[in-house]
């Protein structure tokens, strides 16, 4: 991500954040919530990194919960990743 790029939307979870820049999603904070192809450790990222799992999609909206994230594509697809706090009964 270039320093001159700006986020059109930002949201925050417990220890990670998301941002949209030019319809691409970036994350920073705890790498545990980044998705399989972006990072595999619990390392903290201080600068935004591209969420590679969503790279082929144009994202129009993001949402952060405490431990999971949601992205809505321009085709109204819902992409969800992270850690669920509740099990199905």
Condensed to tens digits (0 to 9), the pLDDT of residues 1-39 reads 667 779 999 999 988 999 999 999 999 998 776 654 444
Q: What are phi and psi of 6, to 5 degrees?
A: -125, 150
Q: Which pTM was predicted?
A: 0.82
Per domain, the residue ranges of the chain are 9-82
The encoded tokens of residue 32 equal: 């545990």
State the Cα–Cα distance between residues 38 and 81, nearest whole angstrom: 12
Condensed to tens digits (0 to 9), the pLDDT of residues 59-87 reads 999 999 988 899 999 999 999 988 876 65
């Amino acid at each position: 991500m270039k320093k001159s790029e700006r986020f059109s939307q930002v949201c925050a979870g417990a220890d990670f954040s998301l941002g949209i820049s030019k319809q691409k999603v970036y994350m920073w904070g705890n790498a545990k919530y980044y998705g399989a192809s972006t990072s595999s450790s619990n390392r903290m990222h201080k600068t935004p990194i591209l969420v590679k799992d969503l790279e082929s999609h144009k994202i129009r909206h993001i949402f952060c919960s405490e431990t999971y994230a949601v992205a809505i594509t321009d085709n109204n697809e819902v992409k969800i990743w992270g850690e669920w706090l509740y099990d199905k009964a």
